[in-house]
Amino acid sequence: MQVGIEWLIDAAGCDSDRLRDSLTLRELCDRVLVDLDLRVIGEGTWHQFPPPGGLTGMYLLTESHLSCHTYPEHGIVTINLHCCRARPRWDWEDQLRVALGAKSVGVREVRRGTPDGTGGAP
């Protein structure tokens, strides 16, 4: 039985300054939340690390969670979205190119609740 879907997103070649900018990252996550009609429990939590100053953000959702981790020293952002109710696929590739200047974006979808993660019967 499938109980959700998880998106694992890795983007490289991002603009380092944008990966240090909490407003840019919050706006990106807010766009995900609004576009996918996700419901946040409380408020998102963010932490900025000392220079080179990456950020980690986490949102607890009624559907599960959204997290974001940036590595400005490498030009990389990793994002994880887990939903236990059906959601359309977000356009991660174009959105991360526009918001963060990402040169390459990889998106993996994992069907949760099945042994192989593909959504097939156990």
Which of 69, 64, 95, 98 lies closest to 81, judged by CA?
Answer: 64
69 is catalytic: yes
Sign of CA dihedral 94, 96, 100, 103: negative
68 is catalytic: no
Task: Give the amino acid at 100.
Answer: L
* Helices 22-35/92-100 angle, 10° precision: 160
Please report, to the nearest 10 degrees, the dihedral formed by the alpha carbons of residues 87, 35, 83, 101 taken in order: 110
29 is catalytic: no
Rg from Cα positions in the chain: 15
Catalytic residue, from 14, 16, 29, 64: name it. Answer: 64
Catalytic residue, from 16, 29, 69, 83: name it. Answer: 69
Give the DSSP H or E segment for 16. helix 16-20
Catalytic residue, from 65, 67, 82, 84: name it. Answer: 84
Catalytic residues: 64, 69, 84
